[in-house]
Structure 1
Amino acid sequence: MTLENAVRVFAGIMVLLSVALTLWVHPNFFWLTVFIGANLIQSAFTGFCPAAMILSRLGFSNGPVR
């Protein structure tokens, strides 16, 4: 899996997790969803993505391995 796809999967999982926490644990977990969305927007403009940095250290590459 490429780094870009891994970041998308991670973001999707985090959004679904934050929605579940909001519904079943406490309504203030919606702030986690807001944070995730804001981070996605800022990473699109700046190119800085903490999740991509962490996932690249875990072994996800920027392209297919040849």
Structure 2
Amino acid sequence: MSVNEGLRAMAGFFVLLSVALGTWVHPAWYLFTAFVGVNLLQSAFTRWCPAMAILRRIGLREESDAGKAAE
């Protein structure tokens, strides 16, 4: 799994989790959904996201490195 795939998986998980928490616990959790969306939008323009540093630290590779490993 590459960093970009991991980032998408993490964002999807947090969106689903925050929607569930907003529905069943408290509507204020929808603010976390908005935070994830804003962070994704920001990363589309800056090509930087704090979660990417975490994913690299746990061992996920960059897109070009992941393609080489699959060959």
Q: Distance in 2 between the 1:46 and 1:13 partners?
A: 22
Query: What is the TM-score of this pair, normalised by structure 1?
Result: 0.94
How many residues are aligned here? 66
Moved over 6 A (4+): none
**CA RMSD of superposed structures (Å):** 1.0
Query: What is the TM-score of this pair, normalised by structure 2?
Result: 0.88
Q: Distance in 2 between the 1:2 and 1:47 partners?
A: 15
Q: Secondary structure at the match of 1:48?
A: coil
> Unaligned stretches of 5+ in structure 2?
none
- In the other structure, the counterpart of 1:5 is 5
Larger Rg: 2
Q: How does 1:33-48 map to 2 (within 5 A)?
A: 33-48=33-48
> Relative contact order, CA 8 A, sep 6+: which one is greater?
1
